[in-house]
């Protein structure tokens, strides 16, 4: 990921390359169009992505960039992304009202008086300072599970107790035998009654014959 996005007018490409060279010679990574736009990538997509990733935006301010709608869009996106904006003023022209809206509270470096090299060194220092105060990217949260306390051993996980099983009556069921016994008992009672009746009849018959 680059450190610095360089915003400029295509008509000032020579000056933009000087600025880019000075920053990269100082170890600062730069993103500049069209050098860093991959083949087949749409320019608006590439520029938007770069502006989302670069923490510092350097605007090479000239009469050309002051009138450029592309430069205005880049500065608007840089403001939306809360990037640090540094204006490298190469020409003494007043900013348009649209640019002034985004740039009235940012750092301006006056580079209108030649030679340019001292101004480039000042720009390097300003970019380094801006990078130093940028908040670091948040690290992804790592969820850690607490381990066993010191001096203790990890206990094996307890398995859930099985639910109690209903008791099963293992005694054999003999409904047929029980019913047979009941019938036999009833039969004995009936036979006994029948025998008593027969005996009574014999006695009665004997009495009658005796008369």
pLDDT digits (tens, 9 = 90+) for 126-138: 999 999 986 654 5
pLDDT tens column, 80-98: 999 999 999 999 999 999 9
Give me the phi and psi of 59, to 5 degrees please: -100, 120
pLDDT tens column, 143-176: 555 555 555 555 555 555 555 555 545 444 545 5
Q: Indicate the pairing of strand 84-89 with strand 30-31.
A: unpaired
Residues of 146-182 as b/e, b for ≥16 C-beta within 10 angstroms?
A: eeeeeeeeeeeeeeeeeeeeeeeeeeeeeeeeeeeee
pTM: 0.64
Of all residues in the chain, what percent carry a pLDDT higher than 90?
62
Query: Is residue 95 classed as helix, strand or coil in its secondary structure?
Result: coil
State yes or no: pLDDT of 64 exceeds 60: yes
User: Which stretch of DSSP H or E encloses residue 121?
Assistant: helix 117-133
């Amino acid at each position: 990921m680059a450190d610095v996005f360089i915003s400029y007018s295509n008509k000032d490409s020579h000056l933009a390359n000087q600025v880019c060279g000075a920053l990269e010679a100082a170890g600062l990574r730069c993103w500049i169009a069209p050098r860093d736009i991959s083949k087949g990538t749409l320019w608006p997509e590439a520029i938007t992505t770069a502006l989302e990733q670069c923490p510092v935006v350097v605007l090479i301010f000239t009469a050309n960039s002051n009138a450029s709608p592309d430069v205005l869009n880049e500065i608007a996106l840089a403001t939306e992304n809360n990037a640090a904006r540094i204006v490298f003023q190469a020409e003494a022209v007043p900013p348009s009202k649209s640019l002034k809206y985004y740039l009235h509270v940012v750092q301006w470096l006056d580079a209108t008086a030649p030679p340019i090299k001292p101004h480039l060194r000042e720009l390097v220092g300003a970019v380094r300072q801006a990078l130093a105060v940028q908040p670091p990217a948040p690290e992804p949260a790592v969820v850690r599970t607490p381990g066993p306390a010191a001096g203790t051993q990890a206990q094996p996980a307890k398995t859930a107790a099985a639910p109690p099983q209903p008791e099963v009556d293992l005694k054999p069921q003999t409904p047929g035998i029980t019913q047979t016994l009941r019938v036999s008992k009833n039969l004995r009672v009936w036979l006994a009654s029948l025998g008593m009746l027969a005996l009574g009849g014999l006695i009665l018959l004997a009495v009658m014959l005796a008369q």
